[in-house]
Amino acid sequence: MTLDFDPIDEAAANWRGAGWVAVDAMTAATSITRAHQILSGRIDTALAPLGLNFSRFEVLALLSFTKEGELPLGKVGDRLQVHPASVTNTVNRLEADGLVVRKTHPTDRRTTLAVLTAAGRGRVEQAAVALAEIEFGVAGLTGDGRRAVDAAILELRVTAGDFVSPPSQRR
């Protein structure tokens, strides 16, 4: 639903009027949260015809980028920065759809691997095309705008201690 006013701008005016502090921080955080909602909706709409959501796509993509198309479940969680229970749930769904299978690690029987199937490889390739067609939901932002958003969020992630090593050059 399109509004005829910006509710975040309205909230900022209310904060200022109430004498509350950190208005810029509130508007930045609220804007990021709203942008996440918008992007998630666009991405999920693009992936739904393929029976995927973004978390399932991320697992398939991660597996597709490995040499053997497989990773331990714990490493999947580490790489995608998600809770082990979320990995289990996502892999369960992918397995039920025939896109991954589980197998025991050949040298460590305590470790379970998620293995990309041929169907999973095909599906992730279709999904990558679908996401490229909608420009991962950021259509409407120019190249400069995209880089500015990326740089600002990268700064937030770095100061939050999201990762240790310096970021690679993305461009």
Does any domain span residue 91?
A: yes
The residues, ordered by sequence, that sit 6+ positions from 130 with a Cβ below 8 Å of its Cβ are 46, 47, 49, 50
pLDDT score at 166 = 67
Residue 110 lies in a domain: yes
End-to-end CA separation in angstroms for the chain: 35
Whole-angstrom distance, CA of residue 57 vs CA of residue 140: 23
On whether residue 159 sits in a domain, the answer given is no
28 and 8 both lie in a single domain: yes
Q: What is the CATH number of the domain that holds 108?
A: 1.10.10.10
* 80-111 CB burial, b ≥16 within 10 A, e <16: bebeeeebeebbebbbebebbeeeeeeeeeee
Q: 134: closest CA among 66, 61, 49?
A: 49
One domain, residues 33 and 62: no
User: Is position 14 within any domain?
Assistant: yes
List strands edge to edge, sheet with 112-116: 70-72, 112-116, 100-104
Decide if 124 is inside a domain.
Answer: yes
Residues 69 and 94 occupy one common structural domain = yes
Position 79 in a domain = yes
Q: Are residues 77 and 14 in the same domain?
A: no
- Please tell me whether residues 66 and 127 are part of one structural domain: yes
Query: Given the structure tokens 């390739």, which residue do they identify?
Result: 125
Residue 35: domain span: 1-50
Render pLDDT for 24-33 as a digit per residue (tens, 0 to 9): 999 999 999 9
**Residue 129: what residue type?**
V
Could you report the per-residue pLDDT of 95-107, keeping only the tens digit for each?
999 999 999 999 9
Which position has the higher pLDDT, 164 or 59? 59
Please check whether residues 63 and 118 belong to one and the same domain. Answer: yes
Looking at the structure, tell me whether residues 56 and 32 fall in a common domain.
no
Phi and psi at 98, nearest 5°, equal: 75, 20
As for how many domains the chain has, the answer is 2
Q: Is 46 exposed, middle or buried (0-12, 13-18, 19+ CB in 10 A)?
A: buried
pTM for this one?
0.88
Residues 45 and 75 in one domain: no
96 and 83 together in one domain: yes
Percent of the chain whose pLDDT exceeds 90 = 88
